């Protein structure tokens, strides 16, 4: 018996993009001293409100089935959080709970995109986006971001790839891997384009709390004019340093989110009540965990820039948000693309980074460094990178 076409389409889109990370873990398990800068796992302890809230919920027996939309306390907490931040009123009916951003993204794709539709994804992009689009039996079309303008949207390049088959634009803001931010002018232009063309704007905003200067997030979701076109997703994985809890959500216009409930029921039938209770408690905290991460990530981004930008032909795109920094290696004397550079760096210098090819064609000559290690470890890694180039 053969598997489905969707399964075949996904066969090369899962772990293949993380081969450098897997190789690094294998070397470390064999006793090699590897500095791991591959994945964005917070090095900050998870938000203090989570553990007691989960313990209380477990003691209260909150381990039964949820409902298809999510627990009431969590939905109310989300409504309060977005109302306070986005300049407009949100209700519980604007939200749908999921175990993490990844499942929320998958649900948005399955719920909004038809087989054979095209989904425009900006290049570079987070490594799982290609699989999420393929999982909906749709076709991913790349629109290149411009490294020379801080990986901003090139609207000429975007409009050039739009076609009658285009159904959605997937927007990651703040951006992974570049750490760039959408400005208000680009936001309005994207929203107006979606309305004019009848497109969905799917907004992955998981790094909202990790904007280094803590400015409010510019988002299509902030504008009622784009309701019915813009939907977002996020989670507490980054904001509360709790990726393993798998607690996320979808946000959008009530009538659209309501239509996605049967899909959510088919997939998962709600997230876990005890985790939902803890998430609700954490969403109402003072944000001290995210504040500490913002400071440490900003400092480390500056460290990478000071240590590597302009050194031996390297180029750093200093991020404004998130957990990563992109380093251009195409100008180094080694004459290697990002994947070959990352491979040699791992084998010869014991530093594990992600090659830019895991994120798209635009970053073929780049590598991505995680900023989620102590400053002294990151400095040591940068010293090894510079030494390799020299």
- Tell me the pLDDT tens digit for each residue of 123-162: 999 989 999 999 999 999 999 999 999 999 999 999 999 9
Would you say 141 and 118 are in contact if contact means Cβ atoms under 8 Å apart? yes
Share of the chain above pLDDT 90, in %: 91
Domain residue limits, the chain: 5-45+288-389, 50-283
Average pLDDT, the chain: 95
Coil, strand, or helix at residue 100?
A: coil
pTM of the model: 0.95
- Tell me the pLDDT tens digit for each residue of 308-366: 999 999 999 999 999 999 999 998 888 999 999 999 999 999 999 999 999 999 999 99
Above 60 in pLDDT, residue 31?
Answer: yes
CATH of domain 5-45+288-389: 3.90.1150.10
Q: Residues in the chain, how many? A: 390
Nearest to 155 by CA among 104, 193, 106: 193
Nearest to 124 by CA among 190, 194, 172, 76: 172
Cβ partners under 8 Å of residue 320, min gap 6 = 150, 174, 179, 180, 181, 211, 212, 213
Q: Which two tokens stand for residue 265?
A: 């029921």
Nearest to 106 by CA among 5, 198, 14, 193: 14
- Tell me the pLDDT tens digit for each residue of 45-61: 999 999 999 999 999 99
pLDDT given for residue 270 in this prediction: 76
Query: Which string of DSSP letters, residue by residue, matches 122-183?
Result: EES--TTHHHHHHHTT-EEEEEEEEGGGTSEE-HHHHHHH--TTEEEEEEESS-TTT-----
Going by pLDDT thresholds of 50, 70 and 90, the confidence category of residue 8 is: confident
pLDDT given for residue 26 in this prediction: 94
pLDDT given for residue 13 in this prediction: 67
CATH of domain 50-283: 3.40.640.10
- Tell me the pLDDT tens digit for each residue of 59-99: 999 999 999 999 999 999 999 999 999 999 999 999 999 99
Above 80 in pLDDT, residue 11?
Answer: no
Bridge partners (DSSP) listed for residue 122: 143
DSSP one-letter code for 211: B
Coil, strand, or helix at residue 265?
A: helix
Judge if 5-45+288-389 and 50-283 fold alike in CATH terms: no
């Amino acid at each position: 018996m053969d598997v489905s076409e969707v399964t075949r389409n996904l066969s090369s889109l899962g772990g293949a993009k993380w081969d450098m990370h897997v190789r690094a873990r294998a070397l470390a398990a064999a006793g090699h001293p590897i500095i791991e800068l591959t994945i964005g796992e917070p090095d900050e302890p998870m938000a203090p409100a989570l553990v007691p809230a989960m313990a209380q919920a477990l003691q209260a027996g909150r381990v039964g089935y949820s409902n298809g939309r999510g627990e009431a306390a969590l939905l109310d907490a989300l409504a309060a959080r977005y109302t306070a931040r986005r300049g407009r009123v949100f209700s519980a009916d604007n939200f749908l709970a999921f175990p993490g951003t990844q499942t929320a993204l998958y649900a948005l794709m399955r719920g909004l995109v038809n087989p054979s539709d095209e989904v425009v994804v900006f290049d570079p992009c987070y490594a799982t986006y290609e699989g999420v689009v393929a999982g909906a039996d749709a076709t991913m079309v790349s629109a290149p971001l411009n490294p020379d303008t801080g990986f901003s949207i090139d609207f000429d390049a975007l409009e050039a790839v739009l076609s009658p088959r285009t159904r959605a634009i997937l927007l990651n803001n703040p951006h992974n891997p570049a750490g760039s931010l959408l400005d208000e002018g680009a936001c309005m232009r994207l929203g107006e384009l979606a309305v004019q063309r009848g497109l969905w704007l799917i907004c992955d905003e998981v790094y909202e709390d990790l904007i280094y200067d803590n400015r409010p997030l510019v988002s299509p979701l902030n504008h009622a004019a784009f309701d019915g076109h813009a939907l977002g997703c996020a989670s507490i994985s980054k904001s509360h340093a709790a990726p393993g809890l798998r607690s996320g959500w979808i946000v959008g216009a009530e009538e659209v989110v309501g239509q996605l409930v049967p899909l959510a029921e088919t997939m998962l039938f709600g997230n876990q009540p005890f985790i939902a209770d803890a998430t609700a408690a954490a969403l109402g905290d003072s944000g001290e965990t995210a504040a500490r991460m913002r400071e440490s990530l900003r400092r480390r981004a500056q460290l990478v820039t000071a240590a590597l930008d302009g050194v031996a032909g390297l180029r750093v795109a200093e991020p404004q948000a998130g957990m990563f920094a992109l380093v251009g290696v195409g100008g180094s004397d080694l004459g290697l693309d990002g994947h070959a550079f990352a491979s040699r760096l791992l084998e010869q210098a014991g530093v594990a980074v992600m090659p830019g090819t895991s994120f798209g064609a635009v970053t073929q000559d780049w590598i991505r460094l995680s900023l989620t290690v102590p400053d002294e470890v990151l400095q040591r890694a940068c010293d090894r990178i510079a030494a390799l180039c020299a």
